[in-house]
Amino acid sequence: MSGTAFRTTKHRLATRPIFHKLDETIRGQVLRSYLALVLKAELEARIEQLGQKGSWPATIADLDALTETEIEQDGGRSLLRSSPKPAASLALRADVALPPTVQGAPQSDCQIRTCSAKAGIVATRRSSRCAASARP
Amino acid sequence: MCRIGPALTFERVWVETGCRQVIASLARGRGHRFALERAVFLTVLHRLMRGGSDLAADRWREEYRIAGSEQLDLHHLYRAMAWLGEELPAGAGHKSLQALSTRYAAPWPAKIKNKEYRPRPTDQR
């Protein structure tokens, strides 16, 4: 089991040297890795319970690709969610329900300003940080 | 555009494994003036998705929607890491780890149970 944990930490979680000055931040770093392993193992176990086997790198990459974009059209603002890729679908099926594909946008939401002239859609990014607009 | 997948997925696992409750309850008594549990969750999520320093985590989260992390700054992440690694008096062990281990004995319980884990000869040395 310790061998598996070591391989997971070195390979799948891609451990690399991080320099700390203080002992407590080194210990904090170790505990953080432990917590990450707990979450990873739990999600993998849930996927297994569905009778599926997911590749961890694919799961991470596909979850990372799941986005939500704020769009403005006809004076209204909405959040448009991208469709999940296969590995993300599996992880989400094991865990949570996805938000709807389109939903009304709350006041203090995110970000980028991109335009699509063809679709007549304007997506607005108000700052460089998600929900940074909520900061004082 | 915000990336929502990682927080959406792991937030629930964080809650259901008891990690959130343990961290939050331990943090409550310390009177930190920021969301310590959110700072820990943010850094754990970064550890899972990308890995790296607290500075890297602070930059990484700019594209992500992570509930409750809006008010956090880099120095909060540093303080959260220092808090996680605080040393207790000799013999007392690590409080966070102790509390977590009572709830979640090992990171691989379900897997081991499902696969009827048997140590290989090399493990028995």
pLDDT tens-digit map of B21-76: 888 888 887 788 899 999 999 999 999 998 888 899 999 999 999 999 999 999 99
Chain A residues whose beta carbon lies within 8 Å of the beta carbon of residue B71: 134-135
Contact A39 B40 (CB under 8 A): no
pLDDT over 70 percentage in chain B:
69
Query: Has the ipTM of the complex gone over 0.90?
Result: no
Residue B111 has pLDDT above 50, yes or no: no
Chain mean pLDDT for chain A:
71
Least Cα separation, residue A120 to chain B (angstroms)? 17
Residue A114 pLDDT > 50, yes or no? no
With CA atoms as reference, report the closest residue to B100 among A31, A27, A43: A31
Cα of A73 vs its chain's centroid, Å: 27
Range among A58-62, A120-124, B115-119 rated most confident? A58-62
Tens digits of residue pLDDT in A17-67: 666 677 777 788 888 888 898 899 889 888 888 888 878 899 999 999 999
Q: Name every chain A residue with its beta carbon within 8 A of the beta carbon of B52.
A: 16, 18
From chain B, the residues in CB contact with A33 under 8 A are 47
Please count the residues of chain A.
136
Task: Give the chain A residue whose CA is nearest to the CA of B20.
Answer: A35
Domain boundaries, chain B: 5-124
Q: Are A126 and B44 in contact (CB under 8 A)?
A: no
Stated pTM of the model: 0.71
- Which residues in chain A are contacts of B76 at CB distance < 8 A? none
| In the block, residue with structure tokens 């070195």 | A10
Looking at residues B78-103, what average pLDDT do you find? Answer: 68
Q: What is the dihedral of CA B114, B115, B118, B123, to 10 degrees?
A: -100
Residues A15, B51: C-beta atoms closer than 8 Å: yes
Query: What's the mean per-residue pLDDT of chain B?
Result: 78
Nearest-CA distance A26 → chain B (Å): 7
The distance of A131 to chain B (nearest Cα, Å) reads 6
* Higher per-residue confidence, B59 vs A102: B59
